[in-house]
Structure 1
Amino acid sequence: MAPIFVQQEAPPSPPPDTATVTVHALSAGHLTLPEGHFVYPSSATARNTVPSLSFLIQHDNPSTGNPTRIVFDLGLRRDVNRYSEPIRRHAATREPLATQPDVVKSLAKGGLTPDDIDYVIYSHVHWDHIGEPRDFTHSTFVVGHGATDLLHGTSTALRGGHSFFEPDLLPPDRTIELSDPKRAQKEPGPHEPGMLDLNQPWTSLGHLPRTMDVFQDGSLYIVDAPGHLPGHVNLLATTELGQQIYLAGDACHDRRIMTGEREIGEWRDAEGQVCCIHADRREAEETIERIRRLEGQGVEVIFAHDVEWEGNELNQGRFWGV
C-alpha cells in the first residue's frame, strides 16, 4: 500500500536516520454543506457535497520495530440514529448524507480492525468527525484542551445548530485531554526518540507557535489550531519520501478562503443572532494564515472536507487498502 505523497516533483530524500511516518486517507462518509454558512460571498441556494476524511498514521519504533497506529478523526457515524436527538436534527439539514464506507470498513480494506489502532486523535468533537468511538475498545482517545468542557456542556460561547455534543462520547479511563497550549509550559524532561509522549510541553516550530512532537523524533507533530472550536488541533507529518503533509481538520472549509477568493461566511439563526462556523473568527483567520504560509513552503495541506483533494484521481491510490 503506497503511503501518501504529494503529486509534484518529489523533494530530496531525507537522510537515512530521519524519522518518518506513513499516512493514508480513510473514507469516512459524505455530507452536504450550505455554501452560505461557510463562505462569503455565496449563492443562497448552493449546496456542496463533501467528504469527512479520516487518516491512518503509522510510526515504527526504531528500537523495537513495533508500529504505533493512529487514526485522526473518525468521520460520520455509520448509523445516524445513534447520534443524540439534537445532532440527528442537525444532520437532517446536511442531506444528501452518506455514511458508508465508515472508518471501520475503510480500515478493513487494508487488513486492519479497530483493535489494531493504538490512538484515536480527534481534530475536534463536532458530530461529523466523532464517528463511533465504541468500535475502538482498546484505543486511547486524544482530544485538544477544552474539548471535554464542550462534551459536558460547560462551554456556553457557541451558537448554531452544529454546536451540540454528547457528554458520554468518550471513555474517561481511555481519554487524554492535552494540556492548555496557551499557559506557561514546563521544561521538557528527558526523552527517548521514537517513544510517544503526550505529556510534554508545547513548543514553537518555525512560524507555528504551539506544537507537540508526538514521538519526540520530528516525524509527527500535533499543532494547536485555534478558532474553529475549543480543542481544535491539526497534525503535521513527515513521510519517508521527505514530504510534509498537514492534516488541517476544519481549520478551513473551502479552498477559496485559502486563496483569498472568498471570506469566512456568517448567517443568522432562528433568533436573529449572527452565527459563524468558527467559534472565534479572528483566531480562525490567524490559523488559516499560518496554514497558508505552510502551503507556500511546499507542505501539502489536506482539509477534513477537502472535496478537491478527494476528487483528484491521482489521490485515489493514497487511500488505505487501494
Structure 2
Amino acid sequence: MNIGIKAFVGLVGCIGASMVAGFSAHAEGASIKLYALDCGEIEMLDLGLFSREGKYDGQKNSAVDTCFLIRHPDGDMLWDTGLPEGLNALPEGLINGPFHIKVPVKLTDQLQELGMTPADIEILSISHSHFDHVGNAGLFARAKFVVNANEYDHMFRDEARADEQTFASYKALENAKTVKITDRYDVFGDGSVEIIPTPGHTPGHSSLLVRLPNSGAVLLTGDMYHLTRARELRTVPRFNTDPEQTLVSMDVFEDLAEIESARVVIQHEKADFQDFPKFPEYLD
C-alpha cells in the first residue's frame, strides 16, 4: 500500500487532469447534489489524543460529526453514517471515554425530509470504521458497500468483533453486497465521485473527492484531519495505526487538493459544516 501511495503522488496530476476533462464533458447539464447531514456532536474532552507531538495537550474542542449524501443520476450514495441515532433518545448525550457525544437529530429523519428511507441508498461507503463514522451503518446493509479492502479486514478482525457495541452498529454489512477496493475508485464511472486511499489513521482509511458541475471539486477528509489546525501543523493522532503512512497520505491529499483546486471539508470541523449549505440545501 505504501508503494502504491508514493506512485500515486507522481501520477495524480495527469490522472486528475484527464478525469476532470472527462467529467466535464459527461456532466454538462447533469444533476449531482452534495448534502451535508448532521450526524452528531462530539465534545473532545482530551484533545491531546489528537497529537502525538503534544501540540494540543490540556485542550478541549467542540466538534461535529458529518455524513454526506451524494445524489447522482445513477444512484444515491451515503458517505459515513455518524454516531448511532439511538443516542437521540438521550438529550444530554453520554460520555464515551474521552468524548461527550450527542445526536440532536436522527440521520433517518433527515433522509425522510428528502422523501427517502435507508432502503433508498444504493451505495454506502465509509472513510473508516471508527464508532463515530459507522454508528448507523447497519441500517444500510441493503446498499452496495464499497470499502477499502484493508479497512474491511480491519473492521471484521477478531479484536473489532470483541468491541460489541461498535461492531453491532455495522455487523450487518458482513452480509452486504460488497465491493472491496485497493486503489482510487471511480464510483459512478464518470469521474464525478472518487474514493481516494489515504491510509494511516486506520489501515484502509479513505477520503472522498466529489466533482460538482457548478461548485467544482470538494474533498472530504474523513479523519485525515480532525481540526483545521491539524492540517496546518500536520499533527498525527496518538491512536493512528501507522503514523508514517499518515504523513504520506497527507502529501497525497494535499497534492490532490491543489491539483483539483478543491474545497477541503474537514468532517469534524464545526466551521466547515456551518459553511456548507444548511440541510436540506445542497451544493451542485
TM-score range normalised by the length of the shorter chain: 0.7 to 0.9
Q: Deviations along 1:136-163, whole A, 9 cap, x unmatched?
A: 353232322123332333479xxxxx9x
Aligned residue number for residue 18 of structure 2:
none
Is residue 107 of structure 2 the alignment partner of residue 103 of structure 1? yes
CA distance in 2, matches of 1:123, 1:138: 19
Task: After superposing the two structures, state which structure 1 stretch, 287-296 or 25-34, moved more.
Answer: 287-296
Please say if residues 35 and 42 of structure 1, whose CA atoms lie closer than 8 Å, have aligned partners that are also in contact.
no
CA distance in 1, matches of 2:196, 2:57: 34
Distance 1:241 1:252, change over 3 A: same
Q: Deviations along 1:85-108, whole A, 9 cap, x unmatched?
A: xxxx9824311x211213212212
CA distance in 2, matches of 1:106, 1:321: 12
Aligned residue number for residue 178 of structure 2:
176
Is residue 144 of structure 2 the alignment partner of residue 121 of structure 1? no
Aligned residue number for residue 245 of structure 1:
218
CA distance in 2, matches of 1:43, 1:214: 37
Please say if residues 88 and 103 of structure 2, whose CA atoms lie closer than 8 Å, have aligned partners that are also in contact.
no
In structure 1, the residue corresponding to 2:231 is in which secondary structure? helix
Aligned residue number for residue 22 of structure 1:
33
Q: Deviations along 1:271-309, whole A, 9 cap, x unmatched?
A: xxxxx2311111111111222233334211112212220
Aligned residue number for residue 310 of structure 1:
273
Is residue 256 of structure 2 the alignment partner of residue 294 of structure 1? yes
Name whichever structure is richer in helix by fraction: 2
Kindly report the root-mean-square deviation, in angstroms, between the aligned alpha carbons of the 2 structures: 3.2
Unpaired runs of at least 5, structure 2: 1-22
Question: How big is the shift at 1:256?
Answer: 1.5
Q: Deviations along 1:254-282, whole A, 9 cap, x unmatched?
A: 2222223x6324xxxxxxxxxx2311111
Q: Which has the larger radius of gyration?
A: 1
Question: How big is the shift at 1:240?
Answer: 1.7
Distance 1:108 1:136, change over 3 A: same
Normalising by structure 2, report the TM-score: 0.76
In structure 1, the residue corresponding to 2:184 is in which secondary structure? strand
Question: How big is the shift at 1:176?
Answer: 1.1
Counterparts in 2 of 1:173-322, with a 5 A limit? 173-179=175-181, 181=182, 210-241=183-214, 243-260=216-233, 263-265=235-237, 276-297=238-259, 298-312=261-275, 315-317=276-278, 319-320=279-280
Normalising by structure 1, report the TM-score: 0.68
Aligned residue pairs, count: 251
Distance 1:15 1:279, change over 3 A: closer
In structure 2, the residue corresponding to 1:309 is in which secondary structure? helix
Unpaired runs of at least 5, structure 1: 1-13, 62-67, 83-88, 157-161, 182-209, 266-275
Please say if residues 69 and 118 of structure 1, whose CA atoms lie closer than 8 Å, have aligned partners that are also in contact.
yes
Which portions of structure 1, spanning 4 or more consecutive aligned residues, are displaced by more than 4 angstroms? none
Is residue 93 of structure 2 the alignment partner of residue 93 of structure 1? no
Q: Which amino acid aligns with 1:93?
A: P
Please say if residues 64 and 270 of structure 2, whose CA atoms lie closer than 8 Å, have aligned partners that are also in contact.
yes
